[in-house]
Amino acid sequence: MNRIKQKLQEDKKILSIYFTAGYPSLNDTVKIIQDLEKSGVDLIEIGLPFSDPLADGPTIQASSTAALKNGMTTTLLFEQLKDIRKTVSIPLILMGYFNPVLQYGVEAFCKKCEEIGIDGLILPDLPLDVYLAEYETIFKKHGLINVFLITPQTSDARINAIDEASEGFIYMVSSASTTGAKEGFGPEQSAYFERIASMDLKNPQIVGFGISNAQTFQQATSKAKGAIIGSAFIKHLTQNGVDGIDAFVGQIR
């Protein structure tokens, strides 16, 4: 069974961490993954850096720019990850923008992911209709779960369509924003969390954007299955390098 699905069956709240591959240093990728697993994180999103990350705020943008400057490429990331399954068993997701995947070749990219032991993909700018029409069979053939996003502005009808097309979890963007733009949650988020919880979706939801500490993790997971931390972890890496990852994770839960 796909590692993501297996993890989601556990009776616990999921903590997922995002980091940008190639940041802070080009060859930190494997160590960051290993340390995150050791620290008790449940799921890891490995960011494939892109020159024009539309959905990201300044923190993740800067990490992408730095990673590209360091020399990160799709081919190099696959090279770094080729033996990753010898040392970790945590579910791994690649997150990035669609253009680098398109240039690598969608089929070749998915095949490589399968060989390495990647469990899923998050490609925010690959739209639902295009995925279903052109790529779903390829993703499935290589055992990859495709994760879709929803936001507070997403209509019920569209959420239901996304739920139908999903088979792992739904990435619930906490507010209408880019990554790292807002911190903390207000009444608007509570209402949104409530609304989604009451929809009785077949897929569990994991909340992302705006989660940075124990309090926001708690709030986000009061209704949802889990939460994702991105910008806050990137900031930690900026300040501390790859040291103290266990301490960072320890203060979340």
Partner 1 sequence: MSYHADERGYYGEFGGAFIPEMLYPNCEELRQNYLKIMAEPSFQEEFHQLLKDYVGRPTPLYFAERLSKKYNTKIYLKREDLCHTGAHKVNNTIGQILMAKRLGKHRIIAETGAGQHGVATATVCALMGIECVVYMGEIDIARQAPNVARMKMLGAEVHPATSGSKTLKDATNEAIRDWINNPVDTHYIIGSVVGPHPYPDMVARFQSVISEEVKSQLLEKEGRENPDFVVACVGGGSNAAGAFYHFLDTPEVGIIAVEAAGKGIHSGESAATSALGKVGIIHGSKTLLMQTPDGQITEPYSISAGLDYPGVGPLHAHLYTSGRGEFISITDDEAMKAGLDLCKFEGIIPAIESSHALAIFKDRKFKENDVVVVNLSGRGDKDLQNYIDYFKL
Examine residue 40 and tell whether it contacts partner 1 (CB under 8 A): no
Cα–Cα distance for residue pair 179/162, rounded to 1 Å: 21
Cα–Cα distance for residue pair 126/98, rounded to 1 Å: 6
Closest CB to partner 1 among 162 and 232?
A: 162
Give the type of residue at 1.
M
Whether 45 is a known active-site residue: answer yes
Whether 56 is a known active-site residue: answer yes
Q: Which two tokens stand for residue 183?
A: 């911190």
Region near partner 1 per CB under 8 A, out of 86-94, 111-119, 148-156, 236-244: 148-156
Give the type of residue at 169.
F
Q: How many residues in the shown chain lie near partner 1 by CB under 8 A?
A: 42
Cα–Cα distance for residue pair 32/46, rounded to 1 Å: 10
**Contact with partner 1 (CB under 8 A) among 22, 124, 210, 230:** 124
Closest CB to partner 1 among 141 and 158?
A: 158
Examine residue 61 and tell whether it contacts partner 1 (CB under 8 A): yes
Examine residue 106 and tell whether it contacts partner 1 (CB under 8 A): no
Q: How far is the CB of 208 from partner 1 (least distance, A)?
A: 11
Closest CB to partner 1 among 19 and 209?
A: 209
Closest CB to partner 1 among 63 and 249?
A: 63
Q: 149: closest CA among 108, 214, 196?
A: 196
* Distances, alpha carbon 231 to alpha carbons 59, 150, 155, 207, in Å: 6, 19, 27, 14
Active-site annotation holder among 35, 37, 42, 45: 45
Cα–Cα distance for residue pair 17/230, rounded to 1 Å: 6
**Contact with partner 1 (CB under 8 A) among 40, 58, 241, 250:** 58
Would you call 83 exposed, middle or buried from its count of C-beta atoms within 10 A (0-12, 13-18, 19+)?
A: exposed
Examine residue 153 and tell whether it contacts partner 1 (CB under 8 A): yes
Cα–Cα distance for residue pair 251/35, rounded to 1 Å: 15
Catalytic residues: 45, 56
Interface residue list for partner 1 (CB under 8 A): 50-58, 61-62, 65, 68, 73-75, 97-104, 124-127, 130, 148-151, 153-155, 158, 173, 176-178, 181
